[in-house]
Structures are given as C-alpha cells and as structure tokens.
C-alpha cells in the first residue's frame, strides 16, 4: 500500500511544521467560516441535500452541545490520547488527503477571487468537492507561510462568537429538522458575511490560494477518486496507529483542521448540485464525513469558546514536544520543561562565570560555579580585612571617592572579573598610582568631564554628587549620614547648587588627604 | 541595559558602604568582620528584597544574635547533589534548583560588582 508508506513518511515531514499548524487551527477554521459565509448563496442547496445523511450519522451527536464536544475534541485531538473514537471518520479522509496532496503542484493566486465562476460544470464541481476532501493536509502545509499570529485573530473570534449567538439559538430550535437548521445557519452566515467583509480584505490572498488549490486538485486527481475511497479503511488503521505518538497526534490535528477546511470547500464548490443522490455510496459516505464539521459549524464556534478554556493547557504543551519514543504523560512533560529551564539557566551562568565556556558537563560546571562564588566571597572577605586595616587611619571624603569609583567602574567594568583571590596582594600595590592619578585628575578639576558624566548618567551623577552638597553639614553632624532621607534631600538640593563649586570642594580635600599617608 | 543597572548598583553600593565605613570609623569599632558585614549588608540592601539571597543575607545579619543564641542545626537536603551550591548561596537551602540557579546568577553579578567597588575603594584609600 503506497498510501500507508506515505503516511509513515508524513510525520517526519511535518514534525517541524507541527507548531505552526497547531497555532493555525483557529485561523484556518475562521477563514473557512468566512469562505462559507461568502458562498452561502450558492451552497445552500448542496448543504440541504447532504443534511439528512449527516444528521443520521452515528458520529454526530444529536444536540448542539454534542457538536461542541466534537469540535473541541478535534481541536484537542493530540492532547487527549484516547478520545478519538468519534474522530475516526474525520481523520481518515485527512489521511487520504496525503495521497492527493502528493500530486498537487501549488498553484498560487492563479484563480479569480469569486468562486461563482467555478461551478459552471457540475460534475467538475462534485469532483472538486471530493478532492478537496483529500487536500486538507496540504492546506495545512500551504497555509504555514501565511500563518497569522493567533493573537491578531482573537478579536475576530470574539466578534464571531458573539455574532453566532443567534445562530446557535436557531440551531437549537432546528435540531430535529436538519435542513431547517442548515437554512438558518446559512442565513446567519450571510448576516455574518456582511459584518465580516473587512476580514475578507485581509484574507483574500489566502482564500484565493486555497480555492486555486481546490481546483487544481480536482483537475489532477479526478482519476484517483475511486481508489482512494477504497483505501480509506486502511488509512483509518494508519491513523489509529499514528495516534500512538504525540507528533502523529498533532499531525492528525492539523489534518482535522484541514478536514474542516475541506468541508468548507465542499460547501463552497458544490453550490448548485443537489445531485448527491447520484453519487455512489462511498462518495455519499465521504460527503457525510465532510458534512459532519459543516453541521457542527455552530458547534465549532462554540468549540472555540470552549477552546478558550483549554488554551492555557495547550500553550503549556506547545513548548514541550515529545519526539518519537518519548513519554507523553504529564509528569514526564513537566520534568522535561523543568530540565529545559534549568539548562537555560546553566547556559546563562556559563556566560557569567569566566572560564566556564570550555567546560562540558553539568557537574563540572557546577563545580566551576561554586569555585567562582567561593573565590568572590573570599575576595570580599580579604578586601574587608584590608579595608579594616586601612580605615582607621583615614578620615576620608566620601564624595570624592564616589566620583572616582564611578568613573573607574565605567572605564573598566570588566577588569576585575577574572581576578584570582591570590592576585589581590600583588595587584594592589602596583595598581593604585596610575588609577589614583587618572581619577583624581579627571573628576576633580575638569568641569567638562563632570558635565559629561552628568549627561551620560544623570542618575549616577545625582547620587554621587549628593554628598558633595552636604559635605559641610555632614562634618558638623556626622550622625545624620545614615539616614536615607538625606539622600533625597541632597538630590533636591543638588539642582540648585552649581556643580563646579561642589566638585572643587569635594575633590580638593580628597587630594589633601591623599597627601597625608 | 545590564551595564547601566550594574553601574547604578555599584554606585549605590559604594555610597552605602562608604557611609557605613565612615560610621564605623567614627565609632572606632572597626574590625574586619564588621567591615565584611557592612559590605554584605549594603550590597543586599542595594539589591533589595526582590532577591532571595539578599533577603537571606539581611535576615541573617539582623538576627545575628538570635542565631548565635539558638545554635540550632538545621539540616535540609544535605544529601542533595547541589548541596554545596546551596550552602554557598545565602538562602539557597530553601529553594528548588531552578530558583537556586537564578539566585546564583544574580548573586555572582552582585558579588563581582561588590568586589570591584571594594577594590577601588581600597586602592583610593591606600594611596
């Protein structure tokens, strides 16, 4: 069975596209709603002809809520492992699609926008509808380049769902007589059509492409219909098999989307043909499968409301994807998320800790990190020891030191990064003369540099110059220094006092002090 | 962005640390332990209570006397393979591993800036 082979090869093909396909599901369905609404005039008759069989089918539930459930299941298909007895019929054609899709050259934008031009040939249109059944998966693929972010679509959704209120009510009323329901829903759709024309402008290229594909497929594959319909049962088996892996499940979800589209396509392109009675039984079956989603279209909208509930879970699972052979239960998924987060953190730490780039392996890296932190702590300890010895001798001036500190830190922030703790002893005697000269030269006497500093980093300037304003009061009342309030007060004062005088007053005593020891 | 943030943190830390040094100096109670505590406390208060490690440092410093009195040995997850990292990063005993790594990154950042500023101060003071 070549179809089976192709189905096997499909998951790998699509693995990379799964994400986008998943995201697209709302987009796609909404588009197709639009399409349907555009074409309601022509499609009403067709829908009516199919309705009875649709509603008699065991898989369709007999209540509006039932439709809801069905559509939600289609959305969530991949995430619920076991749900899918009802999905079987939906999936099979989508698998069959793959075969059809292989033969299709993409024909973008070649066809006129209005579908009304197609349906002249009734047999052709029937075929197109049937083949649109087989093209759903391809649509999913073709849509990927055009995928529009979900968020942008959401407003439309809400608008849609709100507009669908009457429709749903109608659907409830008309449940017993499916034809009536379809009529009503069509009416509702047409009303939607009016309100949604602004979306049409956005959507028109996409729609065009889809339609063109429809036609192309129908032309290409007219010959293969019979064989494919015969193969459907086999493919159902295939789809059941594919459910076992999550990727396959998602694929089938994408196919579900495709099948939705397909149904829309069926609506679109079979406008005037009520000749469904003439179709062979297999085709009627297909028509039923196609129409399931159509019938559940109001339900589909409900389903979107329901899927808003299920969105968070979806989001959560979208990030972590099980590949083949990986476990898919929630615990292992959560564990995988956690591991990814941790490894990302580890990467960040790796960038942070010098010399950690070459290290491979988590344990070694942790050792490196631990060593680095310990060395930093030891450095702090050592520096505080040194400061304790230096401190009593000096009655230092804070603002001068601050200015220098800031300048230096901006000049070379990375200089001390790889500073081994043992080096500090050897380093400190060598370092100070140049640094001290440079720093004392720049901030104290050069007004331009001060202005430059302020311009670059006003926040730093205010904090650093704050003490300068308050220098004299602080010498008289030194205890006030610890107050946080003073900082704010000084910042307020800072603007009124000219910067040059404070700088001079701040830097000169520092120079005197430096001469002392 | 990170550079400006680290600049701000550095300047604030220098400000606080120098003030506490000055206060110590005026009270004539300078020893290395106090200087170290001052450095850690000022760094933690600059970073703020957003970070777990700074909260841990501050609470440890504030409740020093209580801790000395109690002398209670709390053994938590000492068999953990990352126990050593937990011991090093303040407040790390209570975290899960992901948060521990996060805190470690922030702690390393602030420690480097702390060391940098302290070195500068030392250089300036000792000249």
Please indicate whether, in this complex, the C-beta atoms of A387 and B102 are within 8 angstroms of each other: no
Name every chain A residue with its beta carbon within 8 A of the beta carbon of B40: 380
Q: Where are the domains of chain A?
A: 2-322, 330-393, 395-515
User: Does B107 reach chain A within 8 Å, measured CB to CB?
Assistant: yes
Reported as a pLDDT band with limits 50, 70 and 90, residue A396 is low
Chain A residues 398-437 with CB within 8 Å of chain B: 398, 401-402, 404-406, 408-410, 413, 415-417, 419, 424, 428, 431-433, 435-436
- Structure tokens that stand for A458 in this block: 């006003």
Q: Which of residues 24-43 of B touch A (CB under 8 A)?
A: 24-26, 28, 30-32, 34-36, 38-40
Sign of CA dihedral B110, B112, B116, B121: positive
Alpha carbons B30 and B24: distance in angstroms, whole number: 6
Contact residues, B window 65-104, toward A, CB-based 8 Å cutoff: 81-82, 84-85, 88-89, 97-98, 101-102, 104
Do the beta carbons of residue A209 and residue A81 sit within 8 Å? no
The better pLDDT of the pair A476, B82 is held by: B82
Q: Residue A431 is nearest to which of B36, B88, B123, comparing CB atoms?
A: B123
Query: B47 in contact with A at a CB cutoff of 8 Å?
Result: no
A513 touches chain B (CB under 8 A): no
Minimum mean pLDDT range among A115-119, A178-182, A492-496, B69-73: A492-496
Tell me: pLDDT of A196 over 70: no
B10 vs A387, A404, A409: nearest CB: A409
**How far apart (Å, rounded) are the C-alpha atoms in residues A259 and A402?**
70
How is residue A499 written in tokens? 């910067």
Whole-number pLDDT of residue A397? 63
* The two three-digit tokens of residue A450, written as one number: 């001060």
Q: Would you give the distance in Å from CA A200 to the centre of its chain?
A: 25
Q: What is the mean pLDDT of residues A62-84?
A: 38
pLDDT confidence of A209, banded at 50, 70, 90? very low
Mean pLDDT of A120-129: 47
Nearest to A349 among B21, B104, B119 (CB): B104
Please list, in sequence order, all residues whose beta carbon lies within 8 angstroms of the beta carbon of residue A336, skipping any fewer than 6 positions away: A320, A322, A326
* Residues A225, A138 contacting (CB under 8 angstroms): no
What's the mean per-residue pLDDT of chain A? 47
User: pLDDT digits over A145-191, tens only?
Assistant: 444 444 444 444 443 344 443 444 333 443 344 444 444 444 444 44
Determine the straight-line distance between the first and last CA of chain A, rounded to whole angstroms.
Answer: 94
Measured in angstroms, the CA of A492 and the nearest CA of chain B are apart by 17
* Option in B84, B98, B120 nearest A338 (CB): B98
Q: How far is CA A3 from CA A85, A92, A493, in A?
A: 22, 12, 82
Contact A134, A93 (CB under 8 A): yes
Is residue A368 over pLDDT 80?
yes
> What pLDDT score was predicted for residue A440?
36
Q: How many helices (H) and strands (E) does chain B have?
A: 6, 0
Give the model's pLDDT for residue A390. 76
Query: Which residue is it, tokens 């011991």?
Result: B87
The pLDDT value given to residue B25 = 79
Read off the pLDDT of each residue in A319-323 and give the average, rounded to a whole number: 62
| Confidence band of A416 (pLDDT split at 50, 70, 90) | very low
What mean pLDDT comes out for the span A325-348?
84
Average pLDDT on A1-30 reads: 41
Partners of residue A402 in chain B, C-beta under 8 Å: 11, 14-15, 18
What average pLDDT does range A223-243 have in this prediction?
Answer: 40
Cβ pair B104:A373 closer than 8 A: yes
d(CA B51, CA B66): 23
Question: In terms of DSSP H, where are the helices of A174-245?
Answer: 178-195, 197-220, 225-242
Class of CATH domain A330-393: few secondary structures
User: Nearest CA to CA, how far is B108 from chain A (Å)?
Assistant: 6
pLDDT range class, residue A319, cuts 50, 70, 90: low
A374 to chain B: nearest residue by CA?
Answer: B88
Within the 466-485 window of chain A, which residues sit less than 8 Å (CB to CB) from chain B?
467, 478, 481-482
Q: Give the span between the Cα atoms of B82 and B99, in whole angstroms.
A: 12
- Give pLDDT, residue B79: 53
Q: Kindly indicate the confidence band of residue A384, based on its pLDDT and cuts at 50, 70 and 90.
A: confident
**B32: which residues sit within 8 A by CB, 6+ positions away?**
A381, A384, A385, A387, A388, A389
Taking only the tens place, the pLDDT of each residue in B75-107 is 555 555 667 788 888 888 778 888 888 888 888
Top-confidence residue, B107 or B25: B107
Is the CB of residue A390 less than 8 Å from the CB of residue B125?
yes
The reported pLDDT for the residue numbered B26 is 80
Calpha distance A387→A116 (Å, rounded): 88
Instruction: Find the CB nearest B8 among A379, A385, A460.
Output: A460
pLDDT band at residue B43 under the 50/70/90 scheme: confident
- Given A338, A417, A432, which is nearest B126 (Cβ)? A432
């Amino acid at each position: 069975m070549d179809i089976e082979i192709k189905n096997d090869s499909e998951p790998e093909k699509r693995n990379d596209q799964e994400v986008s396909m998943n995201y697209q599901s709302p987009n796609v369905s909404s588009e197709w709603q639009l399409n349907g609404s555009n074409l309601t005039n022509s499609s009403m008759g067709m829908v009516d002809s199919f309705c009875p069989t649709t509603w008699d089918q065991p898989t369709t539930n007999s209540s509006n809520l039932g439709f809801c459930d069905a559509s939600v299941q289609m959305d969530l298909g991949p995430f619920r492992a076991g749900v899918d007895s009802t999905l079987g019929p939906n999936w099979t054609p989508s698998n069959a699609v793959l075969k059809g899709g292989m033969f299709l050259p993409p024909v973008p934008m070649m066809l006129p926008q209005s579908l009304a031009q197609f349906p002249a040939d009734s047999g052709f249109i029937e075929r197109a509808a049937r083949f649109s059944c087989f093209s759903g998966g391809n649509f999913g693929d073709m849509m990927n380049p055009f995928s529009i972010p979900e968020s942008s679509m959401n407003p439309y959704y809400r608008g849609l769902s709100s507009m669908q209120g009457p429709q749903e009510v109608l659907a409830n009323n008309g449940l017993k007589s499916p034809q009536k329901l379809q009529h009503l829903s069509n009416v509702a759709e047409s009303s939607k059509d009016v309100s949604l024309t602004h979306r049409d402008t956005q959507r028109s290229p996409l729609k065009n492409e889809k339609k063109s594909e429809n036609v192309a497929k129908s032309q290409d594959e007219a010959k293969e219909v019979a064989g494919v319909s015969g193969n459907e049962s086999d493919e159902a088996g295939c789809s059941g098999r594919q459910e076992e892996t999550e990727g396959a499940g998602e694929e089938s979800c994408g196919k579900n989307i495709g099948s939705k589209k397909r149904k829309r396509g069926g609506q679109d392109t079979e406008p005037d043909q009520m000749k469904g009675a003439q179709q062979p039984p297999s085709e009627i079956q297909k028509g039923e499968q196609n129409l399931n989603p159509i019938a559940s279209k109001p339900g589909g909208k409900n389903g979107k409301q329901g899927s808003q509930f299920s969105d968070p879970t979806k989001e959560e699972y979208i990030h972590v994807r099980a590949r083949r052979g990986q476990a898919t239960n929630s615990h292992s998924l959560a564990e995988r998320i956690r591991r990814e987060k941790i490894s990302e953190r580890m990467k960040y730490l790796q960038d942070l800790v010098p010399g950690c780039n070459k290290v491979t392996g988590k344990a070694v890296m942790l050792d490196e990190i631990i060593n680095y932190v310990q060395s930093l702590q030891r450095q702090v300890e050592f520096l505080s020891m040194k400061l304790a010895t230096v401190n009593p001798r000096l009655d230092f001036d804070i603002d001068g030191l601050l200015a220098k500190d800031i300048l230096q830190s901006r000049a070379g922030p990375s200089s001390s990064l790889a500073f081994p703790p043992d080096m500090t002893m050897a380093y400190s005697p060598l370092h100070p003369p140049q640094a001290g000269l440079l720093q004392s030269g720049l901030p104290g006497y050069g007004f331009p540099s001060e202005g430059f500093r302020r311009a670059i980093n006003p926040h730093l300037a205010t904090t650093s110059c704050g003490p300068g304003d308050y220098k004299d009061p602080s010498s008289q009342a030194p205890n006030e220094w610890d107050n946080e309030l003073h900082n704010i007060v000084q910042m307020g004062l800072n603007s009124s006092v000219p910067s040059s005088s404070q700088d001079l007053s701040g830097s000169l005593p520092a120079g005197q002090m430096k001469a002392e020891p | 962005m990170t550079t400006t943030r680290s600049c701000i943190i550095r300047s604030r830390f220098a400000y606080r640390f120098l003030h506490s040094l000055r206060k110590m100096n005026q009270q004539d109670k300078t020893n290395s332990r106090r200087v170290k505590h001052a450095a850690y406390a000022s760094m933690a208060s600059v970073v703020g209570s957003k970070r777990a490690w700074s909260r841990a440092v501050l609470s440890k410093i504030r409740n020093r006397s209580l801790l000395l009195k109690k002398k209670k040995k709390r053994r938590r997850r000492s068999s953990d393979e990352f126990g050593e990292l937990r011991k090093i990063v303040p407040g790390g005993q209570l975290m899960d591993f992901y948060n521990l790594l996060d805190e470690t990154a922030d702690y390393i950042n602030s420690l480097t800036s702390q060391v940098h500023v302290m070195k500068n101060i030392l250089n300036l003071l000792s000249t």
